[in-house]
Amino acid sequence: MEADEVTIREQNFHSQVREYTICFLLFAVLYIVSYFIITRYKRKADEQEDEDAIVNRISLFLSTFTLAVSAGAVLLLPFSIISNEILLSFPQNYYIQWLNGSLIHGLWNLASLFSNLCLFVLMPFAFFFLESEGFAGLKKGIRARILETLVMLILLALLILGIVWVASALIDNDAASMESLYDLWEFYLPYLYSCISLMGCLLLLLCTPVGLSRMFTVMGQLLVKPTILEDLDEQMYIITLEEEAIQRKLNGMLF
C-alpha cells in the first residue's frame, strides 16, 4: 500500500515537473519571437544617458513580456483544439501523452493570471515609468522615477475604482452589488477584464473592414493587370496621342 502511494506521488511530481518545463519552453519561444517583433518595429533612439537607457530597457522587457503573454492567450484556444484532436487520433501513442487535460488546464490558469497581471500592472507601469521624471525636489534617479510611477498607479487604481463605484451606485444601487466590489480577485478584476476585452473586440470589428479595404486597395495597386483584360482601343488611342505630340514637337524644332 505504501509502495503504491509512493508511486502515485512520484507520478504526480514528474507530471508537474513536465508541465512546468513545457510551459517554460513555450513561454521562452513566445518571448524570443516577441522580442524580435518589438525590436523590428521599435524606433531607434539617439544616444541617451545611462538612466534613460536603463528605463528604456526595463520598459522593453515589460512590453516584450506583455506581448508574449498576449500571443500565448491568443494561441491557447487553437493549441487546445489541436492537442485534443491529436489525442483522439492517436490515443495509444506514448510520445504524445503529455498533451493531457492537466497541461491545458494549467496553461489556461497561467494565461488568465498573467493576462490580468500584464493588463492591470505591467502595462501601466511600463508607460508611466517611461514617461516619469521624478518628483520636483527629490534627487533624480531610478528610485525617483519608480516612486512617481507607483504613485501614479495608485492614483489610477483609485480613479478607476471610484468610477466603477459611482457607475454601480447609479445603475444597480444594491447592497450585494456594492459588496461585490470589495472582492477584487473574484469579481472586480474579471469583470473589468471582460469589459476591456469587449471594448477590444468592438474596436477589432470596427477596424477590420477598414484594414481589409485598405489591403485590397494596396494589392490592386501592386498587382499588374493581365494583358488579356486590357482595352486595345484605349491603348491604340494613347499611342496615337503620343505620336501626335512627338510630331508637333519635331515640327516646332524644325520651324
| pLDDT, position 173 | 63
| pLDDT, position 31 | 92
Contact call for residues 168 and 178 (beta carbons, < 8 A):
yes
The grid coordinates listed for 143 are: 528610485
Q: Look up residue 24 and give its DSSP letter.
A: H
User: CB-based contacts of 38: which residues, under 8 Å, 6+ apart?
Assistant: 60, 63, 64, 67
Q: How far apart are the first and last CA of the chain?
A: 116
Q: Measure Cα distances from 110 to 66, 106, 132, 216 in Å.
A: 13, 6, 30, 38
Contact call for residues 35 and 67 (beta carbons, < 8 A):
no
Residues lower than pLDDT 50 in the chain: none
What pTM was estimated for this model as a whole? Answer: 0.67
Contact call for residues 193 and 119 (beta carbons, < 8 A):
yes
Task: Report pLDDT digits (tens) over 151-194.
Answer: 888 888 888 777 777 776 677 666 665 566 566 556 666 667 77
A 10 A CB-CB count for 189 gives: 14
Contact call for residues 128 and 144 (beta carbons, < 8 A):
no
- In angstroms, how far apart are the furthest CA atoms of the chain? 116
The grid coordinates listed for 62 are: 515589460
Q: Which residue is listed with cell 507607483?
A: 150
Contacts 24+ apart (CB under 8 A), 160-168: 160/192, 164/188, 164/192
Alpha-carbon distance of 103 to 98, in angstroms, equals 8
User: CB-based contacts of 132: which residues, under 8 Å, 6+ apart?
Assistant: 144, 145, 148, 149, 152
| pLDDT, position 83 | 83
| pLDDT, position 45 | 63
| pLDDT, position 187 | 62
| pLDDT, position 73 | 86
| pLDDT, position 226 | 58
What one-letter code names the amino acid at 1?
M
| pLDDT, position 234 | 76
